[in-house]
Amino acid sequence: MLFNANCLALLVFIIVPAILGVSFGIRRIYMKTLLKIFEWATLRMERGAKERNQQLYKPCSNGIIAKEPVSLEQEIQEPRGGGGEFDMSDILYFCRRGVESIVDDEVTKRFTAEELESWNLLTRSNYNLHHISARLTVLWGLGVLIRYGFLLPLRYKNKLYPHPTSKVNLMCYRICVRALTAIITYHDSDNKPKNGGICVANHTSPIDVLILASDGCYSMVGQAHGGLMGFIQKTLVKACPHIWFERSEVKDRHLVAKRLSDHVADKTKLPILIFPEGTCINNTSVMMFKKGSFEIDCTIYPVAIKYDPRFGNAFWNSSKFRMVTYLLHMMSSWAVVCSVWYLPPMKREEGEDAVQFANRVKSAIARKGGLVDLLWDGGLKRSKVKEVFKEEQQKLYSKVLVSRQEDPEHS
Amino acid sequence: PLWCDKVLLRASRRVEIAYFSHSQITRLYSRFHSLDKGENGALSREDFQRIPELAINPLGDRIINAFFPEGEDQVNFRGFMRTLAHFRPVEDNEKSKGHDASEPLNSRNNKLLFAFRLYDLDRDDKISRDELLQVLRMMVGVNISDEQLGSIADRTIQEADTNGDMSISFSEFIKVLEKVDVEQKMSIRFLH
């Protein structure tokens, strides 16, 4: 009896709306209720902290120290006492900058989950365990029961593998999306990517693909993986022509560029979906876009994806969690709430090279999604920074020394 | 978080509590913990070098060195805070007054000593011509010739050296920088 009721619920609330592409609005009510509960939880913790005469630890996303945006030239060019090019006090600038970066830097914090200002009743995002009252513990316990006892099994049952037919493909993505209790708001859908173009988006998790593919048909590009990902990739290829590369082929940039160019030249083929950052970032910033996809002569359709971190952290920290653990986290969080903005298409302008074009697109995406626009490479997650950047700093300082020598009156 | 409490209890009996508020210590511990990839309660030089902005700083290695006491290659949270305490703005000194007879870590003198030690590679309390050349080379890379750098070093020592021993002592260093606003240039303010 219970099994039949479950099936009926499945059909009515998930499969039929997915096929028809409509929504019941139940999920939005669920979302609003959750937010109210989170606010209450945070207030309780603040009260608990005040009773103990302590301050509640509030993570802040704007950085913890005041950093003046003064450049090397500005700070060091100040008028000093003696003449000559070098001043022993020059070292103070590098010293302070260095220590500032030790206390708080712009890059390393992008590779771990964003810290929230209010608690969302998930143990994984709590930093104030000792301020929890009895009532809050009960609520948290209830949350655990609901998420692992009800939401998770429900979502697990709904995981269907994509069917080898293209229209059903779209439906299946939509089913997956509903199965995750994903509440997605699409903005500016008239800018949706068209055939013969490349769609670029900022990357936070594998779910990005699910979110975009449930609102449009794309050809994916990526590295051929093994394991669960590999199986999914092979299955997807049966439905639509995707472009999977072997690791060895990835290094051959000309080969990659040729295959992509051939694909976009064919107007009957679907737009290619690419994540130029090359790796998952924690959705607080957009990092360097690799120029490869911007060298191809075609229209770029930028898309900005911003997750609401209050309902669950969507960022996949691949060095900390395996894919399976990550999916488990996703299926046991409250919901996946995000906004997708389709930006107007962009083309490379006269006299603009691929890198400048990539940066222009990146800035547009960062602006729309409310993310920090960084020039740093997402690859720094795993590799060391290149020596050439240090050499740039040294060159800058040398220029200052030389300019002082040439113009001693000024300094 | 629970892992923080034990450390904070121990830290509260130490002098470092005078330089940072409770919430600042919590934030610093959180930062220390995120840098500590080995999760062994101490940072190594590699942990610091993983910070891209520090890795591209021409004096990055000298700054990292300042955190490690002589001969050690691990720094614990207390040591981490102690070094950072040098960069507290000078007016936040009231708490540490009367704590003990010695000068607070973030005094002008101690900030200057921190900077002096960046130059003094062998920690012999003197900046020799050779040491000055090495640090200059770190700052300019390949962009300035050996001769030019040599003459810069010579001129700097000539101007600073008052006792004729061809090296710069700490008191000579203080004199050279007497007009510089060291308090402002060597201070880091917390937002909270």
- Please say whether the dihedral angle defined by the alpha carbons of residues A103, A109, A113 and A114, taken in this order, is positive or negative: positive
Give the residue from A77, A102, A119 with the most B CB atoms within 10 Å of its CB, the best one to mutate.
Answer: A102
3 state SS of A303: strand
Backbone angles phi, psi at A272, to 5 degrees: -85, 140
Place of tokens 């936040």: B92
- Count the Cβ atoms, other than its own, within 10 Å of residue B156: 22
Question: What is the β-pairing status of strands A197-201 and A336-342?
Answer: unpaired
What value of ipTM does the predicted structure carry? 0.90
pLDDT, tens digit (0-9, with 9 covering 90-100), for B122-142:
999 999 999 999 999 999 999
Using alpha carbons, list the distances in angstroms from residue B103 to A99, B96, B110, B118, B123.
21, 9, 8, 20, 21
A62, A86, A97: residue with CB nearest B136 = A86
Q: Of the candidates A94, A391, A398, which has its C-beta nearest B57's C-beta?
A: A94
Higher-scoring residue by pLDDT: B28, B97? B28
| pLDDT tops 50 at residue B154 | yes
Q: Chain A residue with minimal CA distance to B141?
A: A394
pLDDT at A163: 38
Q: Do A296 and A360 form a contact (C-beta atoms < 8 A)? A: no
Q: What is the pLDDT of residue A164?
A: 41
pLDDT category of residue B3 using cuts at 50, 70 and 90 = low
Q: Which of B115, B189, B191 comes nearest A95 by C-beta?
A: B115
Q: Are A229 and A242 in contact (CB under 8 A)?
A: no
Q: Give B85's Cβ-side CA count (13 Å radius).
A: 23
Q: Is A347 helix (H, G, I), strand (E, B) or coil?
A: coil
Rounded CA separation B140/A393 (Å): 8
Contacts with B176 from chain A: Cβ below 8 Å:
88
Q: Kindly give the interhelix angle for B77-85 and B60-67, rounded to the nearest 10 degrees.
A: 120
Q: Of the candidates A82, A97, A380, which has its C-beta nearest B52's C-beta?
A: A380
Q: Answer yes or no: is pLDDT of B27 > 50.
A: yes
Q: CA-CA distance, A103 to A391, in Å (whole number)?
A: 23
CA distances (Å), origin A315, targets A117, A204, A205, A280, B49: 17, 5, 5, 7, 25
Bridge partners (DSSP) listed for residue B76 = B42
Amino acid code (one letter) for A405: Q
Work out the end-to-end distance of chain B between its first and last CA atoms, rounded to an integer number of angstroms: 19
Neighbours of A223 (CB within 10 A): 12
B52-102 per-position pLDDT tens digit: 999 999 999 999 999 998 889 999 998 999 999 999 998 755 544 545 557
Q: State the SS3 of B94-126.
A: HHHCCCCCCCCCCCHHHHHHHHHHHHCCCCCCE
Output DSSP code: residue A88. Answer: T
Contact B156 A88 (CB under 8 A): yes
Residue in chain A lying closest to B31 (CA): A103
Q: What is the pLDDT of residue A366?
A: 95
**Chain A residues with beta carbon closer than 8 angstroms to that of B137:** none
Cβ of B143 and A394 within 8 Å?
yes
Tens digit of pLDDT at every position of chain A (411 positions): 555 665 666 666 666 666 555 565 777 788 888 888 888 888 887 787 777 766 666 666 667 888 877 777 777 766 554 556 788 889 999 999 999 999 998 898 888 888 776 667 766 666 555 555 676 677 777 777 777 766 666 666 555 433 344 566 677 677 777 667 778 888 998 899 888 889 999 999 888 888 888 888 888 877 766 677 777 777 666 666 677 777 676 677 778 788 888 888 888 788 889 999 988 899 999 999 988 889 888 899 999 999 988 888 888 888 778 888 888 888 777 788 889 999 999 999 988 899 999 999 999 999 999 999 999 998 888 888 888 999 999 999 998 888 887 765 554
Asked if the model's pLDDT at residue B19 lies above 80, the reply is: yes
Q: Are A231 and A253 in contact (CB under 8 A)?
A: no
Nearest 5°: phi and psi at B29? -65, -40
- Mutate one of A99, A395, A396 to test the B interface: name it (highest B CB count within 10 A): A99
CA distance B62 to chain A (A): 9
Q: Which of A287, A396, A275, A300 is nearest to A352 (CA)?
A: A300
**Residue B98's pLDDT is what?**
45
Pairing mode of beta strands A336-342, A299-307? antiparallel
Q: Supply the pLDDT for residue A15.
A: 62
